[in-house]
Amino acid sequence: MISLPFWRVVVGGALLFLLVCTSSLASPSTQDTRNFKLAFESASKGKWEEAYAYAKQVSDLVAVDVVQWLHLRAGIDDWQAYQTFLEENGDWPGLKILRRSGEKSFSGDENPNQVVDYFSDYYPQDGFGAVRHAEALKDLQRPREASRVIRNAILSLPFSDDDLKYVIQYYPGETIPLLESRLDNLLWLDRIDEAEILLPYLKQDQQALYKARISLDAMKEGVNDLINRIPQEYISDPGLAYDRILWRDHHGHYLSALQLLLEQSSSVNDLGKPVFWASKRYRLAHELMRDGQNQFAYDIASKHFLTKNDTFHSLDWLSKSDIPTWEKKQRNSYLDLEWLAGYIALRKLNDPQRALGHFYNYYQEVIRPSYSYPSYSPVRLGRAGYWLGVAHESAGNNEDARIAYQFGARFQTSFYGQLSAEKINYPTSKTLISREPVNNRVVKMLQREKVVRAAVLFHSAGIEPYAGWFLAHQAEKLDREELAALAQIAQTHGANFSTVKIAKQGTRQGDMILDYLYPIPDLATQNLPTKPEVTLSIIRQETEFRPQAVSHKGALGLMQVLPNTGEEIADDLGIRGPIKEVLLDQEYNVQIGSAYLQVLFEEFNGVNVLVYAAYNAGPGRLNGWLKTLGKPGESTHSIIDWIEHIPYSETRNYVMRVLESITVYQHRFSERISPIRISSLL
């Protein structure tokens, strides 16, 4: 068998160690780790007394807070317990669910001032909570505010049957005029059961429309009879058109679904709620592009009507607690569709002027910070500069192209940023090899934080997803110096998964700390068949260095190896033992995963993009794509085009993220600045 000294690495001749257990926040003792793990397992089974008993045996009493946090999120406590926990731990993660559970714990006997205070910083997330909030406001002689709470809630918040009946009976002026709007919204949100309850409250002609929509949403047969019963005044309802498109697509009526989508895409009024059409629009446009129906694809992608006069449509038809989620979806959909429309115009329709309009829209959005988006990712920013540059170059605007490429080249951790840098020989950033200084005073300060102490307990017990969640949440409110200190704490405890989570949160805030964004555990000196920068890039994209990761498809460990594949490779390597245990051992997992990667290099003749696509999607699926897409050409543009034509968005993203990571890791291993040559990796 092969032995891997996994936590040591030689980089540029210097021996680096991941400093396990040397922080002043000592790793929990074996007994504390055992008790915390038992507390978590008991809580997961709903054995709360047992969970609290184990937690109280842990030296750091934050373990008790963790069990209470789990208890409250499960909705099993009285309202005062929620109030007390939030007052003492208002900076913990997962409070949205905890608060929602807290709303359901109201008994009706609470002090109205306390109830109003509970909702002072956020909107109710549930109909029951909204009713309690409104009742408290009425008790305090604030009826107008109570009415606003109910009107907001009825738009899209979930209500139990009893709560819905109550609010309609006691707040008829606020609710009855909005019941059709609620039903409409619920169908757009695909909450069919909640919508169906509202049918008796509507007029007969309205019921005909919504009965048809409900049947369409449920993908039932025989919907034409229901559609034919809809009065003429409702037949052009945008929601009905949307539901018919989904129904046709689901039942294999692909062309008629496309035709109806195009017919509806003439105005925002015909679409009703453009944000809901966006994901379907993107998928169908991409399919049409792959099928060579380029003008059709362009029309579908470009006619999204997500903005008016460069401003996004208001989402105030939703309840306020639902709006942030859909604002994010609206912005991301706009970017995806504007980019795709620009790409089709440029690469398929040979119309660089039209493409420039779309790419400029994309660029304008990603450089505009907002409360929700203090900084777009380097991936978005690099893409903006590169494709604006390509379009300008195609239009003969060489100086504008150079300026656009310069913008893209600033984002050298991204695929298109690296392509921009190579295109104009832009100087390689020293940040690719620089080391981030860590302030020990800040480290000690953060080690006292309860969220950090809880994360250390989670990590010691092998509960990595929670450890990463807690630390990434802590990172949301930190500046660069504090981010580096927090990441150092995670790395000191051997928590590379958490290290990456922290660094990614920093990137979202505009602080890129490469030491922790691209960690280097011990792979550089191993006798593996693949280069360390390739292996690390695969691991980073697969699991972000989480050794116990298990996918919904059963892939295991750092490199997400499927058991059947793992058994074959393990047998070739002489590795024995139950395959699940073998693959969850990080040393064996890396041996087996890198050996499988080498098999793919041989199978696909060393064509990198094919290998990485096969590792993500499987060689069988890739061979199917090759039959329709053909093999990538030799030029950089033809390889980029091949990547952008991959049918699965997950695999498109995967290939680009692996390629960009290889470039970063090459520089981090060499510890010297050299020109970026990502085209040689394609």
Question: Pick from 396, 414, 302, 418: which is nearest to 349 by CA?
Answer: 302
DSSP H or E stretch at residue 492: helix 480-492
Q: Where are the beta strands (DSSP E) in 132-240?
A: none
Q: Report the alpha-carbon distance of residue 479 to residue 472 in Å, rounded.
A: 13
Q: What's phi and psi for 8, nearest 5 deg?
A: -135, 145
Q: What is the 3-state secondary structure (H, E, C) of 207-234?
A: HHHHHHHHHHHCCCCCHHHHHHCCCHHH
Q: What is the pLDDT of residue 78?
A: 86
Q: What is the pLDDT of residue 25?
A: 59
Best CA proximity match to 492, nearest among 465, 523, 455: 455
Rounded to 5°, angle at Cα 562 from 557 and 567: 100
Distances (CA, A) of 247 to 45, 254, 287: 40, 10, 18
How many residues are recorded in the chain? 682
Are 347 and 641 spatial neighbours (Cβ–Cβ below 8 Å)?
yes
- How confident is the model at residue 126, as a pLDDT? 93
Among 285, 284, 311, 185, smallest CA distance to 238 is for 185
β-sheet bridge partners, residue 307? 312
Per-residue pLDDT reduced to its tens digit, 58-77: 999 999 999 999 999 999 88
Segment (H or E) for 34: helix 30-44
- pLDDT score at 510: 85
What is the pLDDT, as a whole number, of residue 567?
97
- Give the position of tokens 């062309």: 255
Q: What's the mean pLDDT when you consider all of the chain?
A: 93
Domains and CATH numbers, the chain: 57-179 (1.25.40), 203-272 (no CATH), 532-681 (1.10.530.10)
Here the contacts of 433-442 (C-beta below 8 Å, separation 24 or greater) are 433/667, 433/668, 433/670, 433/671, 433/672, 433/673, 434/514, 435/515, 436/484, 436/513, 436/514, 436/515, 436/516, 437/484, 438/484, 438/485, 438/488, 439/481, 439/484, 439/485, 442/481, 442/482, 442/485
Q: For residue range 624-656, list pLDDT tens digits in order.
A: 999 999 999 999 999 999 999 999 999 999 999
Residue 253 tokens read as: 């009526």
Are 407 and 433 a contacting pair, CB within 8 Å? no
Residues of the chain with pLDDT under 70: 1-25, 370-375, 523-525
User: What number of other Cβ atoms are within 10 A of residue 423's Cβ?
Assistant: 23
- pLDDT at site 309: 79
